[in-house]
Amino acid sequence: MRTTRQPIGDALTVPGDKSITHRALMLAALAPGTSQVRGPLTSLDARSTARVLRALGAEISALRHGADVTVEGRARFSAPARPLDCGNSGTTARLLLGLLAAHPFEARVTGDRSLRHRPMARIAEPLAQMGATFEPPAERLPLAITGGRLRPTQWTLPVASAQIKSALLLAGMAGDVAVMLNEPAPSRDHTERLLRRFGYIVEAGEGVVHFAPTGRLEPFELDVPGDVSSAAFVAAAGVLGGFEVAVEGVGLNPGRTGWLEVIARMGCPVDVESRGDAGGEPTGTLVVTPTLLRATDIAAAEVPSLIDELPILACLAARAEGTSRFHGLAELRVKESDRLTLLAENLTLVGATARVEGDDLVVEGSDVPLAGIVGTEGDHRIAMAFQVLGLAPGCAITVDDPGCADVSFPGFAATLADLEARR
């Protein structure tokens, strides 16, 4: 498990932040005039958001790698002629429902097979309380929403979820009504940061988020930082592959950086250099020096701050000294796949020891060679996590659908090849 230290190569960059790209495109679509989103994510999920916003009347330039995006927004959406297909993107579907709740027309919302299995009642129930109607009373997509005049709302989130929180804040924004939310734990606050730019009051603390419709959307320019969740795969590649790696321009929203604390506990502190900010978010360069990994426990309270990094952290735990326990992963069951089950199954399949106990994941680390073909069920983060695990010495892991990384990390195959060459 000890790795040989190699000199640091050129710093890498990762694609634009997925969460911020979705939000920036949505706000720009409703800001009357021309907005510029610089360095956006251009992945399949980002394209899903652009596609549905175009169907609602916004003009959005093509999402192409390396190109900024121009959005011609209109103050209100127009009724879509076709169902709005959100592809694989839960963030697109849920935040969109929040915006549609304030528009007085019927829109049909759907998605791919994975998205049609994901829970929507957590969004539909509070939006119905605000005044939207759903047909059928919505547990899952596809569904039809009819929005209209909304009522102010107070809602207690059943789980710490930035998607639920953001859907309700965006409904408040588009519907010009106050929203008061109680959240069991804080989650990423990209929506709050963006809304404050436009004069909206968003106060957060002590488990409460309070929104007041005091602002107005204006066209804007926004720099999107690199996606910290994508950076986690690159950092883990350095840890497992035994080389130093630096990732520049990474967004460091405090609601997203829990994985940095976890890998520090595992014996591998990540240095943050060149701190700055982009688009109202803190940024920095992450520098990772690989060391011997030791097991850790992840508390349920930490999970919201590393929800998307659990697949790669579980793969790191498989190469750590000792037994790691990840507590309270119920939400992982309703991601792009049932990630909790799929992680345990695939770790076992490649020769590691892992099991699900209730809502916990238990991973026993070892340095035995791991090999096999991982079934991803089209889940981008499962695919990337296991390909990175394959970089560990003696491991030979392939995945059945490497292309699904395009959902969040276009160019992942090229980045992986670059990382492989550094071993």
Q: Does 161 bind ligand S3P (CB under 6 A)?
A: yes
Task: Considering the complex, state which of residue 163 and residue 346 has its C-beta at the smaller distance from ligand S3P.
Answer: 163
Residues found in the chain: 423
Closest approach of ligand S3P to the CB of residue 19, in Å: 3
Taking residues 316 to 345 in sequence order and writing x for each that binds ligand S3P by CB under 6 A, - otherwise, the string is ---------------x--------------
Closest approach of ligand S3P to the CB of residue 307, in Å: 5
Looking at 43, 166, 283, 346, which residue binds ligand S3P (CB under 6 A)?
166
Is there a contact between 300 and 361 (Cβ–Cβ < 8 Å)?
no
Task: Please list every residue from 104 through 143 that binds ligand S3P, using CB under 6 A.
Answer: none
Looking at 35, 42, 48, 91, which residue binds ligand S3P (CB under 6 A)?
91
Task: Considering the complex, state which of residue 47 and residue 188 has its C-beta at the smaller distance from ligand S3P.
Answer: 188
Task: Considering the complex, state which of residue 91 and residue 415 has its C-beta at the smaller distance from ligand S3P.
Answer: 91
Closest approach of ligand S3P to the CB of residue 404, in Å: 14
- What does residue 401 show for φ and ψ, rounded to 5 degrees? -145, 70
Q: Which stretch binds ligand S3P (CB under 6 A): 126-134, 158-166, 170-178, 206-214?
A: 158-166
For strands 143-146 and 106-110, give the pairing: antiparallel
Closest approach of ligand S3P to the CB of residue 322, in Å: 27
Closest approach of ligand S3P to the CB of residue 166, in Å: 5
Q: Does 308 bind ligand S3P (CB under 6 A)?
A: yes
Q: Does 307 bind ligand S3P (CB under 6 A)?
A: yes
Q: Does 162 bind ligand S3P (CB under 6 A)?
A: yes
Active-site hit among 45, 227, 308, 379: 308
Q: Which stretch binds ligand S3P (CB under 6 A): 4-12, 157-165, 172-180, 201-209?
A: 157-165
Task: Considering the complex, state which of residue 13 and residue 161 has its C-beta at the smaller distance from ligand S3P.
Answer: 161
Closest approach of ligand S3P to the CB of residue 239, in Å: 22
Q: How many residues line the site for ligand S3P (CB under 6 A)?
A: 11
Task: Considering the complex, state which of residue 169 and residue 320 has its C-beta at the smaller distance from ligand S3P.
Answer: 169
Write out the chain in H/E/C secondary structure: CCCCCCCCCCCECCCECHHHHHHHHHHHHCCCEEEEEECCCCCHHHHHHHHHHHHCCCEECCCCCCCCEEEEECCCCCCCCCCEECCCCHHHHHHHHHHHCCCCCEEEEECCHHHHCCCCHHHHHHHHHHCCEEECCCCCCCEEEECCCCCCEEEECCCCCHHHHHHHHHHHHHHCCCEEEECCCCCCCHHHHHHHHCCCEEEEECCEEEEECCCCCCCCEEECCECHHHHHHHHHHHHHHCCCEEEEEEECCCCCCHHHHHHHHCCCCEEEEEEEEECCEEEEEEEECCCCCECCEECHHHHHHHHHHHHHHHHHHCCCECEEEECCCHHHHHCCCCHHHHHHHHHHHCCCEEEEECCEEEEECCCCCCEEEECCCCCHHHHHHHHHHCCCCCCEEEECCHHHHHHCCCCHHHHHHHHHHHC
- Residue 308 falls in the annotated catalytic set: yes
Q: Which stretch binds ligand S3P (CB under 6 A): 1-9, 35-43, 49-57, 161-169?
A: 161-169
Looking at 19, 43, 257, 324, which residue binds ligand S3P (CB under 6 A)?
19
Assign residue 357 a region (left: φ > 0; alpha: ψ between -120 and 50; beta: otherwise). Answer: beta
Task: Considering the complex, state which of residue 52 and residue 307 has its C-beta at the smaller distance from ligand S3P.
Answer: 307
Q: Does 163 bind ligand S3P (CB under 6 A)?
A: yes
Radius of gyration of the chain (CA): 21
Closest approach of ligand S3P to the CB of residue 94, in Å: 8
Name the residues that contact ligand S3P, by CB under 6 A.
Answer: 19, 91, 161-163, 166, 187-188, 307-308, 331
Active site residues: 308
